[in-house]
Amino acid sequence: MIENKNIDHHHEDDGHNHGSTENETWLSHWPLLTALLILVVMQVLEFGFSISFTLIISLIIYITAYLLAGYNVLNLAWRKAIRLDFFNEFFLMSVATIGAFAIGSFSEGVAVMVFYSIGEWFQDSAVNKAKSSIKALLDIRPDTVDVIRNEKIETVKPSDVKIGEIIQVKAGEKVALDGVLLSEKATFNTAALTGESKPDNKSKGENVFAGMINLQSVAEIKVLSEFKDSKLSKILEMVQDATARKSQTQLFISRFAKVYTPIVFALAVLLVVLPYFFVNDYDFNNWLYRSLVFLVISCPCALVVSIPLGYFGGIGLASKNGILFKGGNFLDVMTKINTVVMDKTGTLTKGVFKVQEVKTNNYNEKDFIKLTAAIESKSTHPIALAVTEFAGPVLDGVTIKDVEEIAGHGLKGIIDGKEVLAGNTKLLKKFNISYDNAIDNIVETIVVVAIDKVYAGYITIADEIKEDAKQAIEDLHQLNIETVMLSGDKQSVVNSVAKFLSIDKAFGDLLPEHKVEKVQALKDLGRQIAFIGDGVNDAPVVALADAGIAMGGLGSDATIETADIVIQNDQPSKIVAAIKIGKLTRNIVWQNIILAMTVKVIVLGLGAGGIATLWEAVIADVGVALLAILNAVRIQKMKI
């Protein structure tokens, strides 16, 4: 990875990136291409036509080519050397090539520098392309937007639009800013955000996010956030930051390179010195040449570049599938997961609740619904939203005071001068309020209500299991991963869902601290745990798990901030995809490590034995690096 490589090997003030930019052209590398042309012409003249030049002329021609190809490398090696940093690939290549000139191997010295620089060019290009493709997956924000001002349409930059203004999005255009739909209905393509090609139908009042594409008639949207604060901007920032968070494998390779390079220098010196004491016909130039071959082939480029590039690819592939990893380190974590712990509501179920039945206990039903809806209107929980939606416009003139949320229990507040409790049966037990014990046997989710310390009745609410939840659990079992469900909902509800989905273990009636205890107990057994929840209410468990995964990050700022991995489209099946992408990335990375180390060990042996030349060393070095890069780049083209 050139960016990480620049951090480890290129100091920020070196101003050196092998001439690579994201908009680079072949012409920008004319010095290197000229050096390559000179080398080819000289080899053709020498070996094709047996034309040779005097020593002085040959030296001038080859030094010209050498400086054209290696100026940047030599410059950086010098700048590092004056800071007493000798153990880096630039100094290594400089020593090897200058040594080749010193013993009269002009063409080989030039060849090493030319092919090394070409390899660096291709490596830079591959990394820039990988980074660009990651960004392109999500950076789909339009440059202009139509905003309605003074009953006229003005075309402005998205950053110039203010909160509260109304924008128009024509069919086929991308939404530029987050907002709420004012049109009666609209259909959007959300593939760039969620990885799903299925159109998303929105109705008036529903949220619309930047990056969605309007598929039908003109849609009017009221802007709810500034351009820089849109969900898409935050997701983009997160994905870009992810490339800078190194995996354990990357960190190991970085540490390995820092130890490996000094050892290689020491061995190269010994390869020149030791034979003097043991070889009868010792020839200094011969053994120096062998040590130069040793230095060239030992360059750690293939590892330093291809491994981070593999993680780039994994992050890009995940993003393409609507899964946001906050760093390559979490790709590694997902390969070790053997237990997946899940929340129920919003994770395995849709979290779209509908009121099924209202039962009162000697209380006027209309007043009961009004008081319950009033207190629930102060909560954003899906169950609370279902109750307020069911009640309709009955809250006008209702006085709501002192509402507090009691975690894992429900809500307490003063409504029209009456003390109202609304939540689960644990809430009533907490306040020593007796109720009909028969409701403990109700399978559905219920909201139990007490008014002025007297049990007043309950509301039953139904949720719906997500379409792909059952398949997701089956796929996890096929990967030999244990499944556990933790929920604050009633045990009877939890058991019903767990039985339908074939979940291994299920626990209900849990407070947040109880969920932490359950996860800690699993960790104490040595389990590697991924926890999937909403990333907000379950923040303590997310923090405790080896991998915290949040569902529905597209609609929640807090979710994006809390979790290690964000599944943007709410589909449980993406959990399996995240694990598979992690394993795929690991396989590619280790293929590159084994390939690079195997070839290097073989050619190092051949070089030390005088069999391999500098030509073979540089071709092997650059060839391995390019093969490893091509292997890493192919991750983004794979399908999960």
- Mind giving me the DSSP string for 379-425? --SHHHHHHHHHH-S--TT--EEEEEEETTTEEEEEETTEEEEEE-H
Count of domains for the chain: 3
Residue that terminates a domain, selected from 226, 254, 280 = 226
Q: Which residues are tagged catalytic?
A: 343
SS (H, E, C) 437-472: HHHHHCCCEEEEEEECCEEEEEEEEECCECCCHHHH
Residue 423 domain flag: yes
Q: Are 423 and 476 within one domain?
A: no
Q: Are 448 and 361 within one domain?
A: yes
pLDDT digits (tens, 9 = 90+) for 546-597: 998 888 765 566 656 778 888 887 889 999 999 999 999 999 989 988 888 8
Mean of per-residue pLDDT scores for the chain = 82
Q: Are 398 and 423 within one domain?
A: yes
pLDDT digits (tens, 9 = 90+) for 160-218: 999 999 999 988 888 888 899 999 889 888 766 665 656 788 889 988 888 888 888 89
Residues of the chain with pLDDT under 70: 1-25, 123, 126-141, 191-198, 235-236, 238-254, 257, 301-302, 535-537, 553-560
CATH at residue 189? 2.70.150.10
Rounded (5°) CA angle 386-388-394: 150
**Rounded-to-integer distance, Cα 225 and Cα 231, Å:** 9
Q: Are 454 and 534 within one domain?
A: no
- Three-state DSSP class for residue 223: strand
Residue 44 domain flag: no
Q: How many CA atoms lie within 13 A of 47 on its CB side?
A: 7
Residue 512 domain flag: yes
- Give the pLDDT score at 23: 47
Q: How many other C-beta atoms are found inside a 10 Å radius of the C-beta of residue 499? A: 10
CATH at residue 390? 3.40.1110.10
**Rounded-to-integer distance, Cα 190 and Cα 324, Å:** 15
- CA 417 and chain centroid, separation: 50
**Rounded-to-integer distance, Cα 443 and Cα 440, Å:** 8
How is the chain split among helix, strand and coil, in percent rounded to 5? 55, 15, 30
Cα distances (angstroms) measured from residue 125 to each of 77, 250, 292, 466, 636: 22, 20, 28, 42, 16
Residue 149 domain flag: no
Residue 588 domain flag: no
Which residue range(s) make up the domain with 560? 324-349+466-581
Q: Would you say 211 and 194 are in contact if contact means Cβ atoms under 8 Å apart?
A: no
User: Measuring CA to CA, which residue among 216, 238, 211 is closest to residue 145?
Assistant: 211
Q: Are 334 and 478 within one domain?
A: yes
Residue 424 domain flag: yes
Residue 527 domain flag: yes
Please report, as a single letter, which amino acid is at residue 385. Answer: L
Residue that terminates a domain, selected from 200, 226, 252 = 226
What is the sign of the dihedral through the CA atoms of 547, 548, 552 and 554?
A: negative
Residue that terminates a domain, selected from 226, 246, 274 = 226
Q: Are 337 and 432 within one domain?
A: no
Q: Would you say 408 and 511 are in contact if contact means Cβ atoms under 8 Å apart?
A: yes
CATH at residue 560? 3.40.50.1000
- Three-state DSSP class for residue 29: helix
Q: Are 423 and 522 within one domain?
A: no
**Rounded-to-integer distance, Cα 426 and Cα 511, Å:** 10
Q: Are 330 and 478 within one domain?
A: yes
Strand partners, 550: 533, 566
Q: Are 499 and 555 within one domain?
A: yes
User: Measuring CA to CA, which residue among 310, 267, 326 is closest to residue 92?
Assistant: 267
Q: Are 344 and 355 within one domain?
A: no
- Predicted structure pTM score: 0.68
Q: Judging by beta carbons within 10 Å of its beta carbon (0-12, 13-18, 19+), is residue 5 exposed, middle or buried?
A: buried
Q: How is residue 412 written in tokens?
A: 């307490």
Q: Are 576 and 440 within one domain?
A: no
- Mind giving me the DSSP string for 254-282? HHHHHHHHHHHHHHHHHHHHTHHHH-TT-
Residue 608 domain flag: no
User: In the sheet where 418-423 sits, what is the strand order?
Assistant: 354-360, 454-462, 445-451, 418-423, 410-415, 400-406
Q: Would you say 454 and 312 are in contact if contact means Cβ atoms under 8 Å apart?
A: no
Q: Are 344 and 394 within one domain?
A: no
User: Measuring CA to CA, which residue among 207, 577, 558 is closest to residue 567?
Assistant: 577
Which H helix or E strand runs over 93? helix 89-102
